[in-house]
Amino acid sequence: MEGGKIATLFKPFSQQKVPADRAAKQRSFSMQYILPPHGGDVEFFRRRYPGRDWLDFSASINPLGMPAAVRRALEDCGEDSQRYPDPHSGALREAIAAAEGVTAEQVFCGNGASDLIWRAVYALRPKQAMVCAPTFAEYRRALEAAGCAVRQHLLTPEDGFALDESILPLVERMDMVFLCNPNNPTGKLIDPPLLEKLCRAAHRAGTVLVVDECFLDFVPGGNTYSAKKYLRDCEKLIILKAYTKIFAIPGVRLGHCLSHRPALLKAVDGAGPPWSVGVPAQRCGVLCAAQGEFVRVSQDSVRRWRKQLCEGMAALGLTVFPGAANYLLLRAKDPQLMEKLCEYGILIRDCRNFAGLGSGYFRVAVRTGEENAALLGALEQILL
């Protein structure tokens, strides 16, 4: 973002001349706004504050943006979009398999990770399942929609929201367990020895273990924390991945899952409609799979910018929970912090509707150094 645009962010709406009716709408938006299950709801705020530029820290997308090669592929696929896409995503699965070190038969592609979550639940129809709290909302939404009884395993701020071995005996009593690594919204990684024990426990009990690794590409040395090494030995392990975050293509909708059992993936395939991965998604996905250097540069950049943001927010008196992903969970004394930042044209994610969290918890995406400075500047004016 240009420096001039960032400078305007330090002038809240309340200091600008706005029509009385618009000002009234701005003051009352918090009473009308129902928190969505996810971040990135920029369109609501564009309608509420027309003509305003926004810095979106509510959706955790790679701050480097889309790789140039992927952007060109999207721009050039108009002609091919006049035909149906490959229903099996053959070329895409081959490219992903090469990048992940598996076979194409162990890969299934879908319309984003959320599509795969719902497909897996409806394919396997668990009667009892477990999710952690707090974590990504789609696991529970899909399970409850399918009529499954859901148990929550509470993660506490006193323990830094870390997963521990108390979960192990619970895994063996469930039909399905969802884990997020690193977790959303805490950014906390699962300790590798514990992950191994979890996979072994799930295998012994025949529990379907779904490990969501959608943000693991932001972690240097991510394979150390990945469950991929247990695919062969954990019969009902499913690993969720998505190019949405690391390659900044949330509008394209592209995710994939891995399993050692093709029959399991066939069931997931059969639980949804055909042609779920369109021509543009398949085209750019093949290129994403080959963007190893872009991923490494992104990891280094995010690590540097995350440190800047973490230290800056802590210096302002906010409680920041260290995480390994491209976002940070924080706790503020002011539960209206999101609304107040909106006056500066900045969006963050209010986490009060995450199970296990409450008022005063917020998730903030890691963005570029300049954008982070804009957020910290606005926070300074609000908090100090």
Q: What is the 3-state secondary structure (H, E, C) of the chain?
A: CCHHHHHHCCCCHHHCCCCHHHHHHHHHHHHHCCCCCCCCCHHHHHHHCCCCCCEECCCCCCCCCCCHHHHHHHHHCCCHHHCCCCCCCHHHHHHHHHHHCCCHHHEEEECCHHHHHHHHHHHHCCCEEEEEECCCHHHHHHHHHCCCEEEEEECCHHHCCCCCHHHHHHHCCCCEEEEECCCCCCCCCCCHHHHHHHHHHHHHHCCEEEEECCCHHHCCCHHHCCCHHHCCCCCCEEEEEECCCCCCCCCCCCEEEECCCHHHHHHHHHCCCCCCCCHHHHHHHHHHCCCHHHHHHHHHHHHHHHHHHHHHHHHCCCEEECCCCCEEEEECCCCCHHHHHHCCCEECEECCCCCCCCCCEEEEECCCHHHHHHHHHHHHHHHC
123 and 266, same domain (yes or no): yes
96 and 33, same domain (yes or no): no
58 and 105, same domain (yes or no): no
What's the pTM value of the predicted model, to 2 decimals?
0.90
In tens digits, what is the pLDDT along the chain, a chain of 384 residues?
444 445 444 455 444 443 444 444 444 444 345 666 566 677 777 777 777 788 999 999 999 999 999 999 999 988 889 999 999 999 999 999 999 999 999 999 999 999 999 999 999 999 999 999 999 999 999 999 999 999 999 999 999 999 999 999 999 999 999 999 999 999 999 999 999 999 999 999 999 999 999 999 999 999 999 999 999 999 999 999 999 999 999 999 999 999 999 999 999 999 999 999 999 999 999 999 999 999 999 999 999 999 999 999 999 999 999 999 999 999 999 999 999 999 899 999 999 989 999 999 999 999 999 999 999 999 999 998
What pLDDT, on a 0 to 100 scale, did the predictor assign at position 14? 43
197 and 143, same domain (yes or no): yes
104 and 30, same domain (yes or no): no
What pLDDT, on a 0 to 100 scale, did the predictor assign at position 39? 62
Domain limit, last residue, from 290, 307, 334: 290
215 and 106, same domain (yes or no): yes
Domain limit, last residue, from 261, 290, 319: 290
> Residue 216's domain is classified under what CATH number?
3.40.640.10
302 and 277, same domain (yes or no): no
Domain limit, last residue, from 256, 290, 324: 290
247 and 316, same domain (yes or no): no
243 and 258, same domain (yes or no): yes
Q: 335 is in which domain, residue-wise? A: 3-65+293-383
175 and 276, same domain (yes or no): yes
Rounded Cα distance, 126 and 250, in Å: 29
Domain count, the chain: 2
272 and 336, same domain (yes or no): no
What pLDDT, on a 0 to 100 scale, did the predictor assign at position 37? 57
315 and 237, same domain (yes or no): no
What pLDDT, on a 0 to 100 scale, did the predictor assign at position 331? 98
